[in-house]
């Protein structure tokens, strides 16, 4: 049985890790490379980095940061932000990242998923999505873009299915409603998408206690879960999270 993955997320702005609530009121937390090393040695299965202002500022992702992380850690990591073309994807892969995450770009230009999968393999292409509860979509969830600024009218489950058909090798479901709240993952939309696609689904947004990861694995069929504030704050360690998962009978990598 495949183990369930715990993935710290580091939002990077101006070369520093930052964290907010529902994408607002961000505070500085530290150096991304130092934090990556700490989480890698502390038991993280993977890492994900988002250059959160690259797209808004119209600049490419910070390749220097990607290269520095690749030199420092020995676990897979994904990066997103400021990726607009297949050439951008290639630069990220050559800099040492294993996966590229696309979100708003894929909504505007879905073909980037297929092009990326054809060039590098679907295992390298991650679709990030930011769904919010919405009565105007059949699933009850609508896709938003640009950090919850734009409502697209796209149904979240239908978009996940289309992205998987195009070649996305993994889908990260980041609940806007739960982001930074630390009250638990959005189980319903995570479960709906996990049941609708045949690629791994990663739950994101809302983790506050180890029990929240146990819950999303047991009740929503997630393959992995992203954590941020609960570990950045020092309230919990990855070891504590994994101990809780192991105690609940969830297959977990415990050797690190």
Report, as an integer, the average pLDDT of 142-159: 91
Show the tokens assigned to 222. 């997630």
Contacts of 165 (CB under 8 A, 6+ apart): none
Q: Is 155 a catalytic residue?
A: no
pLDDT of residue 117: 98
pLDDT of residue 250: 98
Could you tell me which residue, 28 or 160, shows the higher pLDDT?
A: 160
pLDDT of residue 9: 96
pLDDT of residue 24: 56
Report, as an integer, the average pLDDT of 149-161: 95
Show the tokens assigned to 242. 């994994």
**What's the burial of 234, exposed, middle or buried (CB within 10 Å: 0-12/13-18/19+)?**
exposed
What are the pLDDT digits (tens) for 47-103? 999 998 887 787 888 999 999 999 999 999 999 998 999 999 999 999 999 999 999
In terms of CATH, what superfamily is 5-247?
A: Aldolase class I (3.20.20.70)
**What's the burial of 84, exposed, middle or buried (CB within 10 Å: 0-12/13-18/19+)?**
middle
C-alpha span between 175 and 189 (Å, rounded): 8
User: Of these residues, 45, 51, 88, 130, which one is catalytic?
Assistant: 130
pLDDT of residue 255: 86
What are the pLDDT digits (tens) for 12-42? 988 899 876 555 557 788 999 999 999 999 9
| Angle formed by the axes of helices 32-41 and 63-72, nearest 10° | 30
Average pLDDT, the chain: 93
Domain boundaries, the chain: 5-247
pLDDT of residue 25: 59
Could you tell me which residue, 211 or 23, shows the higher pLDDT?
A: 211
pLDDT of residue 70: 97
pLDDT of residue 207: 96
* Residue reference for tokens 């990326």: 116
* Residue reference for tokens 């998987």: 164
Q: Is 235 a catalytic residue?
A: no
pLDDT of residue 1: 73
Report, as an integer, the average pLDDT of 112-138: 97
User: Of these residues, 11, 51, 88, 179, which one is catalytic?
Assistant: 11
Could you tell me which residue, 178 or 142, shows the higher pLDDT?
A: 142
Report, as an integer, the average pLDDT of 176-181: 80
| Angle formed by the axes of helices 238-247 and 210-219, nearest 10° | 40
Nearest to 8 by CA among 250, 231, 236: 231
């Amino acid at each position: 049985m495949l183990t369930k993955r715990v993935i710290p997320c580091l939002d990077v702005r101006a070369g520093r890790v930052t964290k907010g609530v529902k994408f607002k009121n961000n505070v500085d937390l530290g150096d991304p490379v130092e934090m990556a090393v700490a989480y890698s040695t502390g038991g993280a299965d993977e890492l994900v980095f988002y250059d959160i202002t690259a797209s808004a500022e119209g600049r490419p992702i910070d390749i220097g940061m990607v290269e520095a992380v690749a030199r420092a850690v020995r676990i897979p990591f994904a990066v997103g932000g400021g990726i607009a073309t297949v050439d951008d994807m290639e630069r990220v892969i050559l800099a040492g990242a294993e996966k590229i995450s696309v979100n708003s770009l894929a909504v505007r230009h879905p073909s980037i998923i297929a092009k990326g999968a054809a060039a590098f393999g679907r295992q390298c292409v991650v679709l990030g999505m930011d769904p919010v509860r919405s009565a105007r979509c059949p699933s009850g969830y609508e896709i938003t873009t640009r950090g919850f600024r734009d409502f697209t009218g796209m149904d979240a489950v239908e978009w996940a299915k289309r992205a998987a058909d195009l070649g996305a090798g993994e889908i990260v479901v980041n609940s806007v409603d739960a982001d930074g709240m630390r009250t638990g993952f959005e189980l319903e939309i995570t479960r709906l998408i996990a049941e609708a696609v045949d690629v791994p689904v990663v739950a994101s947004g809302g983790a506050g206690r180890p029990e929240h990861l146990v819950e999303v694995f047991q009740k929503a069929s997630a393959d992995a879960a992203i954590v941020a504030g609960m570990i950045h704050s020092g309230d919990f360690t990855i070891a504590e999270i994994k101990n809780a998962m192991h105690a609940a009978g969830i297959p977990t990598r415990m050797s690190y």
